[in-house]
Amino acid sequence: MTDRTNSRANEARELEGHLGVLDTFTGTALGVLAVASGIYTYLGVSTLLDGDGAMQSFAAIAYSTAVSVGIFVFWSYMMRLLPAMRTTRARLGLFGAMGLGSLAIIAMSSWLNAAALAGAAAVEQHMAETVQDYQGSLERSHEIAIAAQSLERDVSRTRQSFEDLSEQEAAGALSGLAGRGAVFRVLRQKAAELSALESQIGAQQGQVDAAFDTGNEILSRMRALTVEPGPVEGRSVEFSELAVRLAGIITQLRQLSVAPLVQRAAQDLSASVVLPELDGATEDNRVAQGATIASVLEVLQQRAETLERAAGEVIAMPPPAETTYTPVSAADAVILYARNFIPSWAGAIAIDLLPAVLVLILAVTQGAIRASKEGTPIEDRMTVAEMRAALQAARAVDLTLDPPEPPTRQGPPAPDATPEERPRVQEVPNPARKA
């Protein structure tokens, strides 16, 4: 039992010795961590302050200094107080305080540290994703415009069918009356309308191609800005200007779609027919012309419905998503794209919360020391220095309680007196000391 007691006492003394050595530089290490966090906080908060000059620098320095002092004081409190707590309630209370303090440190420092570590990369990530969104909108707008341009073939086919019918009427194959009479003029009237629509659609092809090429050039420059060296603030300004231009190109492409124009033309194709006067020489001829014109109008209605349906399919195509570039600061970008910068966030939080590990280590070590000292006699726990100090304290108490009496003087002995004739000082016993 004695050996076990001595072993536990030795273990406690060994741990206390280690803590004594570690305590010589723990404060310095904590100060270095607090200063490092303050530096990165300064870099992060500088991106949030408007303006420039001495006032901005002073404000950033003041904030970062407050953060450094707060971190140092907070963790100093935790390192001293939490390991000394002996009851579960007290420990839980300080653990709760440490949790709230850690959240406060993350709120006032860690996200700014992350902004300093990965702010520029986060802004570039925001620009790159914006480029992808604009590219999708540009391609979708171009796709719809090209689909609308393809209606030119439908218009051309309808026009060609009316021209062929007019040629047949000129030969007398429809009404039985050769020549360019009333039926011929109706067919030529609609063929001319479709021809004008076809020319209008074809004229827009060049504008669609030019707008798409311009949009691709702007996108190419925007991609270059996302990876171009240099401060990200200046690149972000140019990127914003290009984004505005590209948004205008996308809007232009949407307006160049001829599908609504074709749809309205198809609706007018059968609704607005100028019927000429029947010019047959006889009543039978005029009846034949009227019947032929009625058949032409029926065919015209069918062709118009087909053309309107084709234009409606193009109009029904989902439009491109609305894309708007919103410039963001480095701190906002880090929060917006936090999932892409987990290592930076981990480093920013670790530099602030690493002392929490030291607090836990101290708490465990102090608990082990107290457990080793429990049940160990005090004489086994005392060191040589402590024993010497205890003995000196005991002597001081004895002298306080029983001060020595001065010797009784009876005059100086004669020079020629023998030792037996000299006076002797007799000690008077002290009852208190015997007790």
Query: Is the distance from CB of 67 to CB of 41 less than 8 angstroms?
Result: yes
Assess whether 214 and 284 both reside in one domain.
Answer: yes
Assess whether 320 and 354 both reside in one domain.
Answer: no
Q: Is residue 36 part of a domain?
A: yes
Q: Is residue 172 part of a domain?
A: yes
What was the pLDDT predicted at 402? 65
CATH number for the domain harbouring residue 138: 1.20.1260
Q: Is residue 302 part of a domain?
A: yes
What was the pLDDT predicted at 32? 92
> For 158-215, what is each residue's pLDDT tens digit?
788 777 777 766 666 555 555 566 666 777 777 787 888 888 888 888 889 999 999 9
pTM higher than the cut 0.85 = no
Give the list of residues 6+ apart from residue 228 with CB closer than 8 angstroms, or none: 235
| 46-60, 173-187, 344-358, range with the lowest pLDDT | 173-187
Q: Is residue 92 part of a domain?
A: no
Residue 28 has pLDDT above 60, yes or no: yes
Mean pLDDT of all residues in the chain?
Answer: 78
Query: Considering the chain, what percentage of its residues have pLDDT values greater than 90?
Result: 13
Mean pLDDT of 337-346: 85
Q: Is residue 96 part of a domain?
A: no
Assess whether 158 and 29 both reside in one domain.
Answer: no
What was the pLDDT predicted at 100? 94
pLDDT band for position 99 (cuts 50, 70, 90): very high
Q: Is residue 148 part of a domain?
A: yes
Q: Dihedral (C-alpha) 362, 364, 366, 368: value to the nearest 10 degrees?
A: -150
Can you give the residue range of the structural domain that contains 24? 2-84+341-381
What was the pLDDT predicted at 71? 92
Q: Is residue 414 part of a domain?
A: no
Mean pLDDT of 221-235: 86
Assess whether 173 and 279 both reside in one domain.
Answer: yes
> For 235-254, what is each residue's pLDDT tens digit?
888 899 999 999 999 988 88
